[in-house]
Amino acid sequence: MNVYSQGVFHQMDMAIQSVINMIHTLRAEDLNVKPTPEKMSIGELLVHMSVLCEADFLIGAGASEEEMDIFYADSEPAMNSEDIIHSLTKHYTALKQGIAGLTEEQLLTHTTAYWGGTHSRYEWLLDTQAHFYHHRGQLHAMLVHVLQRDPKVQLFE
């Protein structure tokens, strides 16, 4: 794996662990809390986060919308902390292994998502990091502002 991807994963390792630590602060009933009526519950957000690393990798590899629908249907865990953590670590490992298997030339190759966005595979990796951080911030805000519980989790080095 090239040095730039290693740097991204160094930061992602901490982000993944911080989400796992936040999950450990939740009670089962917390997963059903829906801060905004038309948006995801805490559990639905965590289910989404648990598969997004591999999902974004597949999108960056050029998976079709139909292929992604099948991936989501087959991959989303049950809405409980144990299954969510297992899914999160499994799909994050798949992302790391997928990126590690790419040559530098492949990382610089541009691909187009089914909705038309075009990036290099490395840029898709950066998008995955940003996507995960975005949802991690949402999760943290839900815990602090909705559940009124500071998870006391380190978010950055």
> What would the pLDDT profile of 64-91 be if each residue is shown by its tens digit?
999 999 999 999 999 999 999 999 999 9
Residue 73: what pLDDT? 95
Q: How many angstroms separate the CA atoms of 34 and 18, rounded? A: 21
Q: How many angstroms separate the CA atoms of 102 and 122, rounded? A: 10
pLDDT tens by residue, 102-112: 999 999 999 99
Residue 137: what pLDDT? 96
Radius of gyration of the chain (CA): 16
pTM: 0.94
Residue 1 has pLDDT above 90, yes or no: no
Q: Which position has the higher pLDDT, 156 or 129?
A: 129
Cα–Cα–Cα angle for 69, 27, 37, rounded to 5 degrees: 55
Q: Which two tokens stand for residue 119?
A: 């990036």
Residue 157: what pLDDT? 84
